[in-house]
């Protein structure tokens, strides 16, 4: 069941975020990207870097490069300190074969591994959907936009990771 986007306002003054967005299924991904950027700007993000990749399968390698670079630049700081979070946006629509499921599983596993390895929040909104109706419901509306939800999660995780754990 879809739940409306929670209008809570999180503040992260000056925090830096990266968004990796697939070009495949552009109509849906672009809508999520717009919503994510708007949410981060509203919260006071200092920098929002957007990197476009051909498809969902290419998202993890860019996430790993960003996470590793953030860690290397701040060797005295906790890993990933330069970035508060990386948001990954993509839409995979199932077809007649299992190819979409393989892509979705590989991307999910890789993003989880990167997040744990670099101790940097990787927000996973690479959606594996059955059809375009599901994509429209989750990506094109304001009420249920997964891009806005991804940004809200990134903001919450930025605040969690700033705390001494």
Sign of the CA dihedral running 73, 77, 82, 86: positive
**Neighbour count for residue 55 (Cβ, 10 Å):** 17
User: Catalytic: which of 99, 102, 124, 144?
Assistant: 99
Task: State yes or no: is 144 an active-site residue.
Answer: no
The Cα–Cα gap between 161 and 117 comes to: 15
The Cα–Cα gap between 46 and 48 comes to: 7
Query: Are residues 80 and 63 in contact, defined by beta-carbon separation less than 8 angstroms?
Result: no
- The residues carrying an active-site annotation are 99
């Amino acid at each position: 069941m879809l739940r409306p986007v929670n209008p809570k306002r999180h503040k992260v003054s000056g925090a830096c975020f990266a968004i990796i967005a697939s070009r495949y299924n552009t109509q849906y991904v672009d809508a999520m990207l717009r919503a994510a950027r708007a949410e981060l700007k509203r919260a006071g993000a200092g920098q929002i870097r957007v990197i476009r990749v051909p498809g969902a399968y290419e998202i993890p390698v860019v996430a790993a490069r960003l996470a590793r670079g953030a860690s290397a630049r701040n060797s005295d700081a906790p890993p990933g300190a330069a970035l508060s979070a990386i948001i990954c946006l993509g839409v995979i629509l199932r077809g007649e074969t299992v190819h979409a499921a393989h892509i979705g599983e590989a991307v999910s596993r890789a993003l989880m591994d990167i997040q744990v390895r670099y101790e940097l929040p990787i927000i996973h909104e690479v959606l594996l959907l059955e059809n375009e109706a599901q994509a429209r419901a989750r990506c094109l509306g304001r009420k249920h936009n997964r891009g806005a939800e991804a940004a809200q999660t990134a903001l919450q995780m930025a605040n969690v990771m700033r705390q001494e754990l």
